[in-house]
Structure 1
């Protein structure tokens, strides 16, 4: 209102500076979030999201990561603009912010619901999830909607979970729950794990990620059929929605969407309750004794310290006296020949073993040669540590022969198991290999590293992540 009044008096004041000022002010007149022309004119795509493991978070090297971050960033670049992320704490805040014109779109893992369809438009679907009732091991164990009437159930306010529960209550009038307008789904899962809440409802992708950090969480049953996740845009944003549809079709057809989901959710399937619970206990009780050695060795050979620590756990469960039937031993399970080549005189000395293992891993990384994506070189090096450099090179050859990207771990890991099939390994220089083994090896190390990173970064945690489940 103020700049309209000023611009209306420009006939009275004819100074050049004033005219230029009015031009700047009026350039913003009529700007509307969600309108493609305005997005390109301002040079930014304003993305409303949440800070959470499935959306946007700061990962390795203090760089942003997450499915929604990656997708929205790629889409913004396709428009020739930069993404600007605006964070909200809850679904309700996200929807209200979009209604208030604070952003061009919501990228936060939201499902389509009739209520949201009446207020906003949706972009293309990009992921299928199922609503799941999640409780804790040793606590209430409902196996049906009827059984939910007897548990303390709390869900996120203004979520698709509320809409689903409201629909179910029409046929199950005893069903009751509380809504939480301040906490997100991840926070409610943490309350369940800590014994402060019986159960909650969460999408399957969120559950899969968080069970790795909170191993006492259990899936009671599915509350819904599979549902689609999609971006949300202001009603009437037809040009923006069409641009999203076209871009997502190309992103999916190129295989990039599949690679993205494999990168973020591939490890979620690597879940073993007993193993994970043992691991988080050892993070508390054993890891501090060796953390300094991992940091020193990683720094000496330019390796990610948490990856090195996770590899040591995979090799020996952080047992410096570990010995296998094949003769490898120590924290990093070095062979006698490898230890001699690395100058490790006592494989049972944890400092010497860790430093030797780090040196060997760094050497393998260097010997991989060119053509591998920088962010993937550590995975190839770990695979070589497990199965040998020759088999890694064979897997890359076969990957290229099959028309896939030989420098991308996501592609090579799918081809690696073929090294155990005669029709493939007969034509490779190094022959047969247990090809699935290095894939599992790398997956487990990545999983251990992620859990370790999360555990070390936890704030206001209950007294012990590895505590026995409440009885």
Structure 2
């Protein structure tokens, strides 16, 4: 393997395992951990129910990025609900009330699955969700443009690391003027995916800590019971 191939492989490995890691600021960390403890339990059964082929924790992370798990969230552009769906998306997914958490989560998951189904098979399975999330954020057309631009610049349009580096270029006139779907806030889409990966990782780690704590508590309880039984036997 030559140096260029080694560098490319290392870059892809770093992207796979470390690409989403960045520092939360203190306020964001505290508010997010509070939300995981106090708000997520209200909705986690719905995320699990409608996860489909996705990890439910990823679906939850998308919802946090979109609305901070607020079913009544509304943006100035008119998107609404815990998954922040547009009217067109709601109609496409056949739901009547975007502020109903169950309808919104079901539709958001189905829409993500639909976006994944629109991607070429040449994109690796484990990377398809990141491409789909870009489309969820800025539209499928702009994702197509980003992949085409990546190819025009000599990159691999099926490689997430290559494509994400070029997303910010969708806001530069010298690039978007040559693309079919025009201007897009590509950097926001880039940050959108990074945030979701970060939020998902935090949920996974939180539940891992909780499970370990439960295991330790059970072990401590068993040990305490055993000690009490030994004390009783000694008295007898």
TM-score bracket relative to the smaller structure: 0.7 to 0.9
2: CA distance between counterparts of 1:276 and 1:248? 42
Q: Give the corresponding residue for 1:323.
A: 74
Query: What is the CA-CA distance between 1:251 and the residue it aligns to?
Result: 4.8
Which of the two has greater strand per residue?
A: 1
Kept in 2: contact 1:270–1:443 (CA 8 A): no
What secondary structure, in the 3-state scheme, does the structure 1 residue paired with 2:142 have?
A: helix
Residues 48-98 of structure 1: per-residue CA shift (max 9 Å, x gap)? xxxxxxxxxxxxxxxxxxxxxxxxxxxxxxxxxxxxxxxxxxxxxxxxxxx
Q: Give the corresponding residue for 1:343.
A: 94
**Residue 11 of structure 2 is aligned to residue 258 of structure 1:** yes
Q: Give the corresponding residue for 2:232.
A: none
Query: What is the CA-CA distance between 1:256 and the residue it aligns to?
Result: 1.4
- Structure 1 residues 259 and 285: alpha-carbon distance in aligned structure 2, compared to 1, 3 A threshold: same
Structure 2, unaligned runs of 5 or more: 215-236
Kept in 2: contact 1:361–1:385 (CA 8 A): yes
**Residue 201 of structure 2 is aligned to residue 450 of structure 1:** yes
Residues 183-203 of structure 1: per-residue CA shift (max 9 Å, x gap)? xxxxxxxxxxxxxxxxxxxxx
Asked which structure has the greater RCO (Cα within 8 Å, sep 6+), the reply is 2
Residues 398-442 of structure 1: per-residue CA shift (max 9 Å, x gap)? 111111111111110001111111111111111111110111000
Alignment of 1:397-416 (within 5 A): 397-416=148-167
1:378 to 125, 129, 148: 129
Q: Under a length normalisation based on structure 2, what TM-score does the superposition of the two structures give? A: 0.85
**Residue 26 of structure 2 is aligned to residue 273 of structure 1:** yes
1: CA distance between counterparts of 2:196 and 2:73? 18
Alignment of 1:226-375 (within 5 A): 249=3, 251-253=5-7, 255-299=8-52, 302-375=53-126
2: CA distance between counterparts of 1:250 and 1:331? 44
Structure whose CA Rg is larger = 1
Kept in 2: contact 1:339–1:356 (CA 8 A): yes
Kept in 2: contact 1:419–1:433 (CA 8 A): yes
Count of paired positions: 213
Q: Give the corresponding residue for 1:48.
A: none
Query: What is the CA-CA distance between 1:443 and the residue it aligns to?
Result: 0.4
Q: Under a length normalisation based on structure 1, what TM-score does the superposition of the two structures give? A: 0.44
Moved more, 343-352 or 364-373: 364-373
1: CA distance between counterparts of 2:182 and 2:82? 30
1: CA distance between counterparts of 2:113 and 2:60? 14
2: CA distance between counterparts of 1:443 and 1:248? 30
Query: What is the CA-CA distance between 1:249 and the residue it aligns to?
Result: 4.3
Let me know the Cα RMSD of the aligned residues: 1.8
Structure 1, unaligned runs of 5 or more: 1-246, 462-471
What secondary structure, in the 3-state scheme, does the structure 1 residue paired with 2:213 have?
A: coil
Query: What is the CA-CA distance between 1:447 and the residue it aligns to?
Result: 0.4
1: CA distance between counterparts of 2:169 and 2:43? 37
Query: What is the CA-CA distance between 1:262 and the residue it aligns to?
Result: 3.2
